[in-house]
Amino acid sequence: MKVGIIANPHKAGAANTIHALTTLLAKYQIEVELENDSANIIQSSSPYSATDLAKRCDVLAVLGGDGTMLNAAHRIGPTDTPMAGINIGTLGFLTSCTDDELHLFAEALVEQSFKVVPRILLQTTISYANGNTESDFAVNEITLTRGQTGRLISIDAYIDGALLNHYHADGLIVATPTGSTAYSLAAGGPLLSPIAKAFVVTPICPHSLTNRSLVLDESSVVELVSADPTECPSFYSIDGREVIELPADARIEVKKADHQLHLLRLKDRSYFSTLRQKLHWG
């Protein structure tokens, strides 16, 4: 087995965790390769990008937190290689274990006592009035929010070509089951099982209290357009990463992506135990 390591260079303790994990895996005769930026953390070198590692390795160990996992997923792109998140700190929603549990991760690899859980992703395509298009994918959500004026934005949402609603709100979120515990939850959206074949549309602070989140079948196609082409540009982001200014005449199409994110789960660990811990349920 070969394990690729991708670490967050901005996380305190990243270097120590890299050293500890590589030393531990070596004891089990598991080969390790580092992504080039991660190698720099320990004053080493590597010719491999994150995408290269996904092609060369059987498992990717991502050291950081949920944000690091999101960033790594986008850097790698479509892949079937499972990702194991090792949180430097407390356990996250996407991570498999903490940096205090590296021995459990190593033992799971040796004993093949882990499972790989696929998560659906969203493909988003922006169509501009000049005919240009931009496509990307989201692990958590795509977000359309009001611009710098502070005024509410007006959004017409269509599902499979049929008008769903005219939203007058601070914005709108289209989230995966994975993203249902992120921004969508903070905006009042429902929790979805991570393997649910669905995604959710959640308005942000809508003007009408009757506007609620809507859970859609994974085969649905969502289209978002400005209801008022004279409005100021809105802001658009994917997984809370780069925020771009979107002209009022742009159209956004969101549907299930053709590829999935494959997360490694340790034996006897479940999404629901993490949910219970993170939300401080009884």
CATH of the domain at 66: 3.40.50.10330
Residue among 66, 136, 156, 160 flagged as catalytic: 66
Residues of the domain holding 53 = 2-113+267-278
Rounded to two decimals, what is the model's pTM?
Answer: 0.94
Q: Give the span between the Cα atoms of 67 and 88, in whole angstroms.
A: 12
pLDDT in tens, 210-229: 999 999 999 999 999 998 87
66 annotated among ligand-binding-site residues: yes
pLDDT in tens, 247-269: 988 999 999 999 999 999 998 88
Arithmetic mean of pLDDT, 178-205: 97
Q: Give the span between the Cα atoms of 270 and 255, in whole angstroms.
A: 27
Same domain assignment for residues 248 and 171:
yes
Burial of 252 (0-12, 13-18, 19+ CB in 10 A): buried
Q: What is the mean pLDDT of the chain?
A: 95
141 annotated among ligand-binding-site residues: yes
Same domain assignment for residues 105 and 140:
no
146 annotated among ligand-binding-site residues: no
40 annotated among ligand-binding-site residues: no
Asked about 66 being catalytic, the answer comes back as yes
140 annotated among ligand-binding-site residues: yes
Domain count, the chain: 2
Q: Which amino acid is it at 154?
A: S
Among 92-101, 107-116, 208-217, 226-235, the minimum mean pLDDT is found in 226-235
